[in-house]
């Protein structure tokens, strides 16, 4: 028989426990997502930062109401299957992948957890999805069109610098997609009659030497590749290009916004809003199979006239007429 005093004590204990129970329930309801990337935090954080900023627009703040579990593979893409397997054991609500190898590893590790990819290259030919419109299974997300833009980068930089014959290409040789893209550059150069010259940089300290070497080897202009490391180097690359009087074209509009000469592509920060949108959708229960793979819908030409003056060129009127945005 429960006495009145004991009943009061039990009730008080129950009430006292409720905040703890509510807190525990709230903590367990915080979404946990995985993030698989090449590189390391000090070199490849630009895209992760863009994703976090985009997720904030959907109300998700890392460490507050969402947890992002980041797994870095360095330059060893063969580590992705092991990283994906250990991540799946944590049972995240979704996994964000940043390249074809990491997406393939995540897909092989789970058929149940949604995988939101952000990749260079064709996800259909890579076997990641059945089609762009109907991805099927548990993988969807976004893919860029950068390999298709390489001939345009060559065309546009030659319009800006008509005498250019030797075009330097700044590459991150540790990026898993780099060999694929270098082949595309070589193929495009053969059809346009220019010589593409390879220069590598894996850390920020490599950039000074790489751009100085371009001038020593008589490079007429520069194309900067679009991987996560180089995307985060606008503050360092733009002044170096001007110092070495190298007219440069970039794939991300963040570069001319930072004083670079020109870009043909899009903003990677805007691009990651699409990734965040799909993360939000799958967290709210939308099956990945119902989300068509997104690709950039608008490719823009952005020109910075102040930068043109600094590298000693005059932008031809026909090129300015094609620009979607002119700065300065």
pLDDT for the residue 297:
87
Q: Where are the beta strands (DSSP E) in the chain?
A: 32-37, 67-72, 94-97, 115-119, 139-143, 166-171, 195-200, 221-224, 248-252, 262-266, 300-304, 325-327
Predicted confidence (pLDDT) at residue 154 exceeds the cutoff of 80: yes
Instruction: For residue range 108-138, list pLDDT tens digits in order.
Output: 999 999 999 999 989 999 999 999 999 999 9
8 A C-beta contact, residue 100 and residue 177: yes
Q: What is the pTM of this model?
A: 0.89
Looking at the chain, which residues constitute the CATH 3.40.50.2300 domain(s)? 27-144+269-290, 146-267+299-327
Predicted confidence (pLDDT) at residue 106 exceeds the cutoff of 70: yes
Instruction: For residue range 14-54, list pLDDT tens digits in order.
Output: 333 333 223 233 345 799 999 999 999 999 999 999 999 99
Residue whose C-alpha is closest to residue 80's, from 52, 42, 119, 50: 119
Beta strand 32-37 pairing with 67-72: parallel
Mean pLDDT of the chain: 91
* Beta carbons within 8 Å of 143's beta carbon, 6+ residues apart: 117, 118, 119, 120, 121, 122, 123, 132, 293, 294, 295
Q: CATH 1.20.200.10: does it fit domain 146-267+299-327?
A: no
Q: CATH 3.40.50.2300: does it fit domain 27-144+269-290?
A: yes
């Amino acid at each position: 028989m429960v006495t009145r005093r004991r009943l009061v004590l039990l009730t008080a204990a129950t009430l006292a426990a409720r905040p703890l129970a509510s807190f525990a329930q709230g903590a367990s309801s915080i979404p946990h997502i995985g993030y698989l990337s090449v590189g390391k935090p000090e070199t490849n954080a630009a895209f992760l930062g863009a994703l976090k900023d985009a997720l904030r627009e959907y109300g998700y703040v890392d460490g507050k109401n969402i947890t992002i579990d980041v797994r870095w593979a360095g330059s060893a893409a063969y580590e992705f299957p092991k990283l994906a397997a250990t991540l799946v054991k944590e049972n995240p609500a979704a996994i964000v992948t940043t390249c074809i190898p990491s997406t393939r590893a995540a897909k092989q590790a789970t058929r149940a957890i949604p995988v939101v990819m952000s990749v260079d290259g064709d996800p259909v030919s890579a076997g990641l999805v059945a089609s762009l419109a109907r991805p099927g299974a548990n993988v969807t997300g976004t893919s860029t069109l950068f390999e298709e833009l390489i001939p345009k980068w060559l065309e546009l930089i030659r319009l800006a610098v008509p005498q250019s014959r030797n075009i330097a290409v700044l590459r991150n040789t540790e990026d898993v997609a780099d060999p694929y893209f270098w082949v595309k550059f070589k193929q495009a150069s053969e059809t346009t009659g220019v010589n593409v010259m390879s220069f590598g940089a894996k850390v920020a300290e490599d950039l000074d030497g790489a751009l100085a070497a371009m001038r020593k080897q008589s490079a007429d202009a520069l194309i900067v590749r679009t991987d996560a490391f180089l995307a985060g180097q606008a503050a360092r690359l733009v002044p170096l290009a001007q110092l070495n009087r190298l007219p440069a074209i970039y794939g991300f509009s963040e570069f001319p916004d930072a004083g670079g000469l020109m870009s043909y592509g899009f903003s990677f920060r805007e691009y990651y809003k699409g990734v965040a949108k799909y993360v939000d959708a799958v967290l709210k229960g939308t099956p990945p199979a119902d989300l068509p793979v997104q690709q950039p819908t608008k490719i823009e030409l952005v020109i910075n006239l102040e930068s043109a003056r600094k590298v000693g060129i005059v932008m031809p009127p026909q090129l300015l007429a094609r620009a979607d945005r002119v700065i300065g």
